[in-house]
Amino acid sequence: LPASIKEPLFAAYNNCNLDKVKAALADPDVITMVQCAPAVRVGIAEDFGAELGTVAAGKLAAALHKIGFDRVYDTNFTADLTIMEEGTELIKRITEGAGKLPMFTSCCPAWVTFLERNYPDQKDHLSTCKSPQQMGAIFKTYGAKLDNYDPAKIFTVSVMPCTCKEFECNREEMNSSGYQDIDVAITTRELAYLIKDMDIDFNALADEDFDQPLGEYTGAGTIFGVTGGVMEAAIRTGYELITGKPIPDIDVSAVRGSNAFRTATLKVGDLDLKVGIVTGLANVIPVMEDLKAGKLDLHFIEVMTCPVGCVSGGGQPKLLLDSEKEAAYESRTKGIYTHDAELPIRKSHENPAITKIYEEYLLSPNGKESHHMLHTHYGTGENSFQK
């Protein structure tokens, strides 16, 4: 369809959440805070005519400021926070027996719900960490304290490559801040529509930074956008926390790729760390059956629902042809790794804003406050759409 037809149709379909965002932005009594997932910055420029996979982090931050959000924070920061929590949890499960192995990642709400509904007896294998989006609970707590804001007046928006994230932020347990932690999730496409609707010339924007400190991020937070990225980010930090030495090669190529299920054994001090990466829910079924049969000899498994992780999520700019999809997934993946390589800090535990939040607020990974704010317990997956 030509854009003149497609965009109004799209807007009509999505107007509910965008109307909520616009109403919050227009209300002088409401403080608006926004966060953006890693994959959004390698997708959004496509909706403004850029080449597939163009990295547009600076223009994205500038557009969000121009739209009028009071604080422009970043899911890449909470991805770094996820690594601190999830990495510590994994180390405790391995070294102290503090939980079941293998431990599965819990960043992808479609995967979490799939496990809850189809393999409820195995849910103790899930990391108790919330996803990076939901670790945005710190915006209405620590973020409110930083600016002396009344948390009751804060409206939090997340921009996601994902059509499942709205489901996740409406889960009834996602209220550790004392309020619904994330009020609304919109997709990359919806943000592009909002930018156009507000007559913002995206391509003419000069690059800006995300706001500090909750918009400061590392390459490790960035690679959450691709399959294997959560695993690689966890290894970069886990290796150094366990051995006390710099990781020999920061590019953990053993966990990169796009095969449906791939495994690797990595030497971490005295430990042979056995990891697995799954893309696509159909591909996780044999893995779960092996787990049930006691045939799965791994410590840590990353599962993502979309073909090559979040860069290929359903909320990213629309691609009509299969050939176009393949090129886009490849280009966006390349964009993520390029952005990672260009960032000055590439390990989550070296993010100074992460050090600061633990010093000032959370105190220690997996500590009491972290458990309250950043971890959860899983149930049936049926508890959504409560509002």
CB of 307 to ligand SF4, least distance (A): 9
Nearer to ligand SF4, 215 or 313 (CB): 313
Nearer to ligand SF4, 218 or 316 (CB): 316
Alpha carbon separation from 270 to 239, 243, 254, 266, 273 (Å, rounded): 11, 9, 19, 10, 9
DSSP string covering 230-281: HHHHHHHHHHHHHHSS--S-SS-GGG-S--SEEEEEEEETTEEEEEEEEESH
Whole-angstrom distance, CA of residue 162 vs CA of residue 182: 15
Nearer to ligand SF4, 60 or 94 (CB): 60
Q: Tell me how many residues contact ligand SF4 (CB under 6 A).
A: 11
Whole-angstrom distance, CA of residue 233 vs CA of residue 351: 13
List Cβ neighbours of 80 (8 Å cut-off, separation of 6 or more).
217, 218, 220, 221, 233, 348, 351, 354
Question: Which residue minimizes CB distance to ligand SF4?
Answer: 313
CB of 131 to ligand SF4, least distance (A): 7
Whole-angstrom distance, CA of residue 196 vs CA of residue 193: 5
CB of 331 to ligand SF4, least distance (A): 17
- Scanning residues 96 to 135, which ones bind ligand SF4 (CB under 6 A)? 108, 110
Nearer to ligand SF4, 57 or 162 (CB): 162
Whole-angstrom distance, CA of residue 93 vs CA of residue 127: 10
Indicate the pairing of strand 271-279 with strand 261-268: antiparallel
- Scanning residues 164 to 203, which ones bind ligand SF4 (CB under 6 A)? 164
**Stretches 144-152, 157-165, 193-201, 328-336: which one binds ligand SF4 (CB under 6 A)?**
157-165
Nearer to ligand SF4, 239 or 378 (CB): 378
- Scanning residues 299 to 318, which ones bind ligand SF4 (CB under 6 A)? 304-306, 309-310, 313
- The set of catalytic residues is 86, 89, 107, 127, 165, 168, 173, 310
Whole-angstrom distance, CA of residue 110 vs CA of residue 96: 30
Whole-angstrom distance, CA of residue 157 vs CA of residue 184: 5
Whole-angstrom distance, CA of residue 24 vs CA of residue 204: 26
CB of 309 to ligand SF4, least distance (A): 5
Per-residue binding letters, 266-305, with ligand SF4 (x by CB under 6 A):
--------------------------------------xx
**Stretches 12-20, 46-54, 118-126, 156-164: which one binds ligand SF4 (CB under 6 A)?**
156-164
CB of 304 to ligand SF4, least distance (A): 4
162 binds ligand SF4 (CB under 6 A): yes
Buried b (16+ CB within 10 A) or exposed e, 147-163: eebebeebbbbbbbbbb
CB of 99 to ligand SF4, least distance (A): 23
Q: List interacting residues with ligand SF4 (CB under 6 A).
A: 108, 110, 161-162, 164, 304-306, 309-310, 313
